[in-house]
Structure 1
Amino acid sequence: MTPFTLPFTAARADIDELGHVNNAVWVSWVQTLSVSHWEAVAPPEHQAAHVWVVTRHEIDYRGNVREGETVTGETWVGEPKGARFDRFFRFTGVDGRVRVEGRSTWALLDRHTGRLLRVRPEFAAPFLT
């Protein structure tokens, strides 16, 4: 399976007092990467009827990113488990070194009722090819 990719460039507002991308910004980038993947791959009818919410983030910080630096975010999903998907992610610098990687768990909800839904094969298929 080929990961979905998206570039991110650290802006001045992303930088913390230590001079590198703040932890909260990394979480925001994971969210942006994940939602962009959903919007790029899921059929419009699935997007209109369903929404994903995070139930857990695990993040390993491997290196720093400073203002003006660009990383490439990559994401892919594992096999669904009931109403949840584990989504894996990695952010790599232009030098090929991984800066941040981890896993998030996402739950599928009915957009209109807010109820948890089992991830049926037709929802998972576009992400597993």
Structure 2
Amino acid sequence: MENTFSQNIKITPEHLDELNHVNNVVYLKFMEKAAIDHWYHVATEEERESVRWIARRHEIDYLRPAFLNDELTIETWVEKHDAISTERHYLISKNGQPVVKALTLWIALDPVSMKPKRLPAELMAKFDRLF
């Protein structure tokens, strides 16, 4: 998918839980990092300073485990948006096989008031180009 942001990560001991597989919370951290990195990739410095993002809802499907030294690919893209929110999807895979499928509803906040903020038209157009 042309508008997908992708990054790879190698699983290390700190990613594991007592079952010796990647802990569920760690996947959420991987997703957050990918979302932030994607935002920094597409937004200008001025745009990044004009809005903060907060997660309103996560949906996560854990499909298969990942273990120490596994190489995972994390893909993320914005599926849809409105004036104050984006629905960001994620696919985490190992050797082409899905490990986690997820989505997060992100809400745009004003960086001063920390209240929901309408996204500027220029930024909305940028999200439209991501589809």
Q: In 2, distance between residues paired with 1:121 and 1:9?
A: 38
1:80-121 per-position Cα deviation (integer Å, ceiling 9, x unaligned)? 12311100000111x210100111000001112212112344
Unaligned runs of 5+ in 2: none
**Amino acid aligned to 2:16:** I
- Equivalence for 2:5: 4
In the TM superposition, residue 8 of structure 1 has moved relative to its aligned partner by 1.5
**Amino acid aligned to 1:112:** V
In the TM superposition, residue 49 of structure 1 has moved relative to its aligned partner by 1.6
Is the partner of 1:37 in helix, strand or coil? helix
Identity %: 28
- Equivalence for 1:58: 59
Task: Please list, as runs of the form range in 1=range in 2, the aligned pairs for 1:1-129 lying within 5 A after superposition.
Answer: 1-93=2-94, 95-129=95-129
Root-mean-square deviation (CA, aligned residues, Å) is 1.3
Q: In 2, distance between residues paired with 1:102 and 1:62?
A: 10
Q: Number of residue pairs matched? A: 128
Deviates more, 1:119-128 or 1:41-50: 119-128
Q: In 2, distance between residues paired with 1:63 and 1:128?
A: 33
Q: In 2, distance between residues paired with 1:37 and 1:51?
A: 14
The runs of at least 4 consecutive aligned structure 1 residues that moved more than 6 Å come to none
Contact 2:109 2:115 in 1 (8 A): yes
Contact 2:80 2:88 in 1 (8 A): no
**Amino acid aligned to 1:71:** L
Q: In 1, distance between residues paired with 2:121 and 2:101?
A: 27
In the TM superposition, residue 74 of structure 1 has moved relative to its aligned partner by 0.5
Is the partner of 1:78 in helix, strand or coil? strand
Unaligned runs of 5+ in 1: none
Change (3 A) 1:90 1:103: same
**Amino acid aligned to 2:119:** V
TM-score of the superposed pair, with normalisation by structure 1: 0.92
